[in-house]
Amino acid sequence: MEEKIIDLKHVNIYQSATLILSDVNLTVTKGEFVYLVGKTGTGKSSLLKTLYGDIPLKEGEGSVVGFNLRDMDWKKVPFLRRNLGVVFQDFQLLTDRNVNENLRFVLKATGWKDEKLIAEKIADVLDKVGLKSKGFKMPFELSGGEQQRIDIARALLNSPRLILADEPTGNLDPETSDEIMNLLFHICKDYGTTIIMATHDYMVINKYPARMLRTEKGKVLDNASITT
């Protein structure tokens, strides 16, 4: 039986007191690549925030990488997030330190103590994203595509079972978008990492087809037909 990485049953998602998405039923298994599409304001971000514990789940049943979302509190959220990687559109790298120090900061924050293991892990993730020689560069010395690769390297640090990528190609030109998509599909296939990617970029979806979820009229529709 395939391992369920995300399992939501009859989930209602709220922002404050407003119901954003109702009766969400969703199963995503190990090694799947899934697009999340939908117009701005239809609940894509709310769904992602629920998956990484930013919005508490109050109605329905939900588990993500084996963690019960109904059971989440501020003490447990960090443990959930150690099993997740999150990739943002705007990179969110710390601008006052080099690439190695950016990655080291995350490892220290998630409980790593052994400096030798930290150095090995940083070298490993930089190698995976093809930037082994860029560890001593400052973020401003990197191109947009390289910064996004570093963001992906950061998401890989704790060997996550799930990566949530929020518009990872949103600020990139088509050629660089292709590089990032190839990298994400490679991570998904070769490491069995489940990836949920929120995007508005239908050119990317058409070029790299995969299962698709759409947020629309308060619902999450599975494998919705593409209408640009």
DSSP label of 48: H
For residue 224, the model assigns a pLDDT of: 55
Q: Residue 36: helix, strand or coil by DSSP?
A: strand
Q: Residue 99: helix, strand or coil by DSSP?
A: helix
Q: Residue 67: helix, strand or coil by DSSP?
A: strand
What is the C-alpha to C-alpha distance for residues 113 and 103, in angstroms, rounded to an integer?
13
In the chain (228 residues long), the average pLDDT of successive 10-residue segments reads 92 93 96 94 92 93 95 88 84 90 91 94 95 95 93 93 92 91 95 94 93 95 64
The CA angle 156-158-162, to the nearest 5 degrees, is: 65
pTM of the predicted model, to two decimals? Answer: 0.90
Closest CA to 60 of 21, 8, 2, 125: 8
Q: What dotted CATH number matches 1-83+163-168+194-228?
A: 3.40.50.300
